[in-house]
Amino acid sequence: MTQEDLFKKLIAHSKEYGFIFQSSEIYDGLSAVYDYGQLGAELKNNIKKYWWEAMVRLNDNIVGIDSAIFMHPRIWEASGHVGAFNDPLIDNKDSKKRYRADVLLEEHIAKIEDKIEKEVEKGRKKFADSFDETKFRETNPNVIRNQNKIAEITHRMNGALNSNDLDALKQLILDCEIVCPISGTRNWTDVRQFNLMFSLQMGSTAESANTIYLRPETAQGIFVNFLNVQKTGRMKIPFGIAQIGKAFRNEIVARQFIFRMREFEQMEMQFFVRPGEELKWFAKWKENRMKWHKSLGVGDDNYRFHDHEKLAHYANAATDIEFNFPFGFKEVEGIHSRTDFDLGSHQKYSGKKLQYFDSETGESYVPYVIETSIGVDRMMLLILSSSYHEERLSDDEQRIVLHIPPVLAPVKLAVLPLLKKDGLPEKAREILNSLKCDFYCQYDEKDSIGKRYRRQDAIGTPFCITVDHQTLDDNTVTVRHRDTMEQQRVDISKIYEIINEQVSFKKIFEKLI
Ligand code: ATP
């Protein structure tokens, strides 16, 4: 199955089983906005719980807040969003389609990277066992030529973006001979800047109304509460403030399902440190966050760092954690060393001192900040896309299974009476009732047991508990494991332990401390 097919199937599967629906579907949908269904909401909550508890519970110097979405409009001037939260857009005059200029160039670079990989594969086949990949990459003329091309395009693109030179960006698109994927032509408009913030009117009458913005990130709610939290929580530097909440961006090109939405959710943590110590903490948070990801066990090779060459004007280091999505390696989380830019700027705009008195050094200063910022929805897509598998069981039977890490699985166990009679449903309900305070359970008595197992596989339930006639005699049940399909006969009193061992965060958290 190609990655493209896999992605299409995943989208259909997410809808069919109640994970993700198009928003306003009965009105033909609203572009790049999605609703989470009954299982999607559970999975999302579990992801948020994993993040929140790993941040707030495991670190005694990190606390969590929940700030409002609406904020004073001056905040967005201070943060630089009013002036500079723009994407460079370009239209194709023939297809009338709109693109992000930097994305067109990045896709062009990705195509050249593909060519390099194909060349390397050719070399691998040709030289078989004696193939030395590093040497091949360093000496093959085609590879070298394409690498140089990438370096040149990247250099020109970063230069143009950094200096906000929109003409240079357009010239680069023309020089790379990039065509519109729809019309196939190079008939481009000039590149223009487009602000990504949604604005709205607050106030009851037109005269008194103020223009405010839907927040494009949750971080600013943390910065403006920095002193409130520091003082009331008696926090000592280094310390962090975490927050989970909705953010809104009027994305120009919204696509790839829930990867890029106009309304989405972020989990952000700002870590306040002494000036001069920020790069040490940046390295520490890079390591911590990668560990958090890899602890879920969805394959270490699927992650990589992408260190930024082009830094935002306020940052002195930045990296993305990228994941191997069905459409390639893409950002799931950003880690940024934001210096004292945000607090310093709010101090200037608000006229209020945002300083910290360090009793160890006897100095007052504006702290430096390391930010970790991850999208809940991208994390959902990461989990769904890495867990979706079609497995052939025999010649005429296949199963679709979501190998969701048990700690995140929406439903932890299903209780299934083998038959709908002979007291088996009653016994099954009794077992269900004894477990439902601890785990999210489902009860299912319809169809054959095989069909019921398939239904649970398709939603990623790690355990099925089957109640049969023997259960009535000796109080034992069958525990069926999702991943191995193994069945284990155990006493009812053992079910809790078997399930808890797999679905509790405890084991993972112990590794993260
Ligand atoms: P991208 O380069 O993909 O646009 P970004 O660098 O603008 O992302 P940040 O501003 O660093 O993203 O936001 C932090 C995180 O928020 C991202 O890593 C991503 O997981 C999530 N995120 C950002 N924009 C969106 C969006 N439109 N839809 C879903 N998640 C998003």
Read out DSSP for 87-137?
EEEEEBTTT--EEEHHHHHHHHHHHHHHHHHHHHHHHHHHHGGG--HHHHH
**Rounded Cα gap, residues 159 and 379, in angstroms:** 31
Domains, the chain, with CATH or none? 39-76+210-389 (3.30.930.10), 86-195 (3.30.40.230), 411-509 (3.40.50.800)
Q: Which is nearest to 472 in space by CA: 412, 414, 418, 413? A: 418
Q: State whether the beta carbon of 100 lies less than 6 angstroms from ligand 1.
A: no
Q: Which is nearest to 87 in space by CA: 189, 194, 216, 166? A: 194
For 145-189, list the strands marked E by DSSP. none
Q: Please report which residue ranges of 388-504 form alpha helices under DSSP H.
A: 424-435, 449-459, 469-474, 495-503
> Can you read off the two tokens belonging to residue 440?
């999210």
Mean pLDDT of the 68-85 span: 94
Q: Whose CA is nearest to atom 21 of ligand 1?
A: 375
> Can you read off the two tokens belonging to residue 261?
């939405």
Judge if the upstream peptide bond of residue 238 is cis by omega within 30 degrees of 0.
yes
Mean pLDDT of the 225-249 span: 97
CA dihedral (231, 234, 238, 240) positive or negative: negative
User: What is residue 298's predicted lDDT score, i.e. its pLDDT?
Assistant: 95
Per-residue pLDDT for 209 more than 80?
Answer: no
Per-residue pLDDT for 313 more than 90?
Answer: no
**Rounded Cα gap, residues 192 and 189, in angstroms:** 9
Q: Which is nearest to 176 in space by CA: 112, 113, 115? A: 112
Q: Whose CA is nearest to atom 6 of ligand 1?
A: 334
Mean predicted lDDT score pLDDT of the chain:
95
108-130 CB burial, b ≥16 within 10 A, e <16: bbeeeeeebeebbeebeeeeeee
Q: State whether the beta carbon of 220 lies less than 6 angstroms from ligand 1.
A: no
> Can you read off the two tokens belonging to residue 438?
């601890």
Q: How confident is the model at residue 203 (pLDDT cuts 50, 70, 90)?
A: confident
Q: Whose CA is nearest to atom 3 of ligand 1?
A: 331
Per-residue pLDDT for 253 more than 90?
Answer: no
CB 20 within 8 A of CB 377: no
One-letter amino acid for residue 146 of the chain: N
Q: What is the maximum span of the chain, computed from C-alpha positions, in angstroms? A: 81
Q: State whether the beta carbon of 441 lies less than 6 angstroms from ligand 1.
A: no
- Stated as kind and residue range, the H or E segment containing 391 is strand 388-394
User: What is residue 309's predicted lDDT score, i.e. its pLDDT?
Assistant: 82
Least confident residue range of 13-27, 300-314, 346-360: 300-314
Q: State whether the beta carbon of 319 lies less than 6 angstroms from ligand 1.
A: no
Rounded distance from Cα 257 to ligand 1 centre (Å): 14
Q: State whether the beta carbon of 373 lies less than 6 angstroms from ligand 1.
A: yes
Instruction: Output Rg (C-alpha) for the chain, integer angstroms.
Output: 26
> Can you read off the two tokens belonging to residue 123?
């070399």
Q: How far is CA 189 from CA 100, 104, 105, 179, in A?
A: 12, 14, 15, 12
Rounded distance from Cα 334 to ligand 1 centre (Å): 8
CB count within 10 Å of CB 281 equals: 20
| DSSP 8-class letter at 223 | H
CB 318 within 8 A of CB 372: no
pLDDT tens for each residue of 216-233: 999 999 999 999 999 999
Per-residue pLDDT for 51 more than 90?
Answer: yes
The closest-lying atom of ligand 1 relative to the alpha carbon of residue 373 is 14
Q: Whose CA is nearest to atom 24 of ligand 1?
A: 260
Mean pLDDT of the 416-420 span: 97
**Rounded Cα gap, residues 369 and 277, in angstroms:** 10
Q: State whether the beta carbon of 165 lies less than 6 angstroms from ligand 1.
A: no
Residue written as token pair 């896999």: 6
User: What is residue 204's predicted lDDT score, i.e. its pLDDT?
Assistant: 75
pLDDT tens for each residue of 419-471: 999 999 999 999 999 999 999 999 999 999 999 999 999 999 999 999 999 99
CB 264 within 8 A of CB 376: yes
* Ligand 1 pocket test target in 47, 51, 86, 266 with most atoms within 8 Å of CB: 266
Q: State whether the beta carbon of 261 lies less than 6 angstroms from ligand 1.
A: yes
Q: Whose CA is nearest to atom 8 of ligand 1?
A: 331
CB 313 within 8 A of CB 81: no
Q: State whether the beta carbon of 245 lies less than 6 angstroms from ligand 1.
A: no
Q: How far is CA 79 from CA 173, 366, 478, in A?
A: 30, 16, 58
Rounded distance from Cα 375 to ligand 1 centre (Å): 6
Report the number of secondary-structure helices (H) and strands (E) in the chain. Answer: 18, 23
Task: Give the distance, in angstroms, between the CA of residue 253 and the centroid of all CA atoms in the same chain.
Answer: 18
User: What is residue 225's predicted lDDT score, i.e. its pLDDT?
Assistant: 98
User: What is residue 19's predicted lDDT score, i.e. its pLDDT?
Assistant: 98
One-letter amino acid for residue 447 of the chain: D
Mean pLDDT of the 42-49 span: 98
pTM for this predicted structure: 0.89
The closest-lying atom of ligand 1 relative to the alpha carbon of residue 249 is 27
Half-sphere exposure (Cβ direction) of 416: Cα atoms closer than 13 Å: 22
Q: Which is nearest to 270 in space by CA: 287, 283, 282? A: 282
Judge if the upstream peptide bond of residue 410 is cis by omega within 30 degrees of 0.
no
Q: Whose CA is nearest to atom 29 of ligand 1?
A: 260
Rounded distance from Cα 430 to ligand 1 centre (Å): 46
**Rounded Cα gap, residues 64 and 44, in angstroms:** 18
Rounded distance from Cα 49 to ligand 1 centre (Å): 20
**Rounded Cα gap, residues 303 and 464, in angstroms:** 31
**Rounded Cα gap, residues 454 and 187, in angstroms:** 51
Mean pLDDT of the 13-35 span: 96
Binning the chain into helix, strand and coil, the percentages to the nearest 5 are: 45, 25, 30
Helix (H, G, I), strand (E, B) or coil at 463: strand
Which phi and psi angles does 467 have, rounded to 5°? -105, 125
137-159 CB burial, b ≥16 within 10 A, e <16: eeebeebeebbebbeebeebbee
